[in-house]
Each structure stands twice: as structure tokens, then as C-alpha cells.
Amino acid sequence: MHISEGVLSTQVLIAGWAASGVGVYIGLKKLEPDKIARTALVASAFFLASLIHFKLGPSSAHLTLIAPAGLLLGWQVFPAVLAALFLQAILFNFGGFLVLGANLFIMAAPGLAAYLIFKKLIINNENKFAVVYAFIAGALAVLLAALLAGAALAMSNHEFINIAKILFAANLPLALIEGIITALLISWLKRAAPEFLA
């Protein structure tokens, strides 16, 4: 879900940087020393996840782990994803530097949404209900990212409806896979390391 350089309009690029800048600022402001190692760990997982590709019919997709990143980090998802996307741009030619702000918002905002909507529901409910909420968070985060990517492309004079349909259809299987991964991860964390969810 990395939008390439040269695709988005200048206005969308500026808006992406502005929105992401706010997120990164708040994320760094709220970053406590004891959460720095966790942020690096999640950023590394996000960084590596995009290298894991799998075939989905005629196309292929890569993992994003947006929802787990958001649920584990909260606002720190912005600086974590920023560092990961920056390194992906340098090391793998994914996305680009000018488009980094927009890509960051597309990936980090759904993670933050997962945190704000589902974190308390996951913590305060029994494991079986928490797993269901985690699955929904994982799936919705991917679909929200696809929607944001579609909106960014539409605002850059692309045909929104067609793009939205293609992106939604292409990411639907990925949403299911990410939902399952998020559910399994949260289920394990609730049993083995609940302090990670605190």
C-alpha cells in the first residue's frame, strides 16, 4: 500500500505531511522512555512485514500489521511507522520521500483508529470477546488504509470510484488475513504478556 513518487498532487502531498506531522509530534511527545524499545520492536515488525508477500488470486499482497502496531503503540504508531517507511524508501525503493507524509498517514491513521476504538474493548473483555474485537480491528484497519489511499489518489485527479473498487477488492483478502493475525496475536498477548497491552 505504498503510493509511489510522482502519483499524488502537490496539495495532497502537503496535506499528508501536515496531518502526519501532527501525529508524529503527538507520538513523540507521549513517548515515554520505557516504551522506546517496544516502539522499535513494533517498527521493526512493520518494516519486515512488507517484505512478506503472498499470492492472492492473480495478484499478490504484503502484510502491513497496521492494527497490531496501533494497538501496541497508540500515538507512537506515527513515529514508528515514519522510521519504518523512511528506511523502506531508502533500502527497498518502496514509496518515496516526497510521498512519505501521505503514506505515513495512510498507514498510521488506521492503526491509531484501531487503538482509539478497540484498545479498551480488548483490555476490558474476556479473551474470546477480545479476539473478536481484535479480528475486527485488524480487518477494518486494512480497509481504512485502502480507503485513505483511494481518497488520496482521487484528490490527485484519479477516478475515485474505480480506484476505490479495485483497492477494496484487492485488500479484502488481506483484511481477513490481517484480522486473523491480529486476533491470534492479541489472544496470545492476553494470556502470555498482558502488560504489553497495558
Interaction site with other proteins (CB under 8 A) = 1-7, 31, 33, 36-37, 39-40, 43-44, 47-48, 51, 53, 59-60, 62, 83-84, 87-88, 91-94, 149, 152-153, 158, 162-163, 166-167, 170
Q: CB of 48: closest distance to other proteins in angstroms?
A: 6
C-beta of 189: minimal distance to other proteins in Å? 20
Residue 58, burial from CB neighbour count under 10 angstroms (0-12, 13-18, 19+): exposed
Give CA–CA dist 100/85, Å, rounded: 7
CB of 30 to other proteins, least distance (A): 13
How many other β-carbons are positioned within 10 Å of the β-carbon of residue 196? Answer: 16
Closer of 121 and 147 to other proteins (Cβ): 147
Least separation in angstroms between CB 53 and other proteins:
4
Residue with cell 490481517: 178
Contact 137, 114 (CB under 8 A): yes
Give the closest residue to 150 by CA, choosing from 173, 137, 172, 166: 166
C-alpha grid cell, residue 7:
502519483
Question: Cell numbers at residue 42, please?
Answer: 513494533
**110 versus 190: smaller Cβ distance to other proteins:** 110
In whole angstroms, the minimum distance from the beta carbon of 58 to other proteins comes to 9
| Residue number, 55 or 128, with CB nearest to other proteins | 55
Residue whose CB is less far from other proteins, 14 or 166: 166
Side chain identity at residue 53, one-letter code: H
Residue nearer to other proteins on the CB measure, 156 or 187: 156
CB of 180 to other proteins, least distance (A): 21
Phi, psi (degrees; rounded to nearest 5) at 62 = -125, 155
Answer whether 109's CB lies under 8 Å from 23's CB: yes
Nearer to other proteins, 3 or 142 (CB): 3
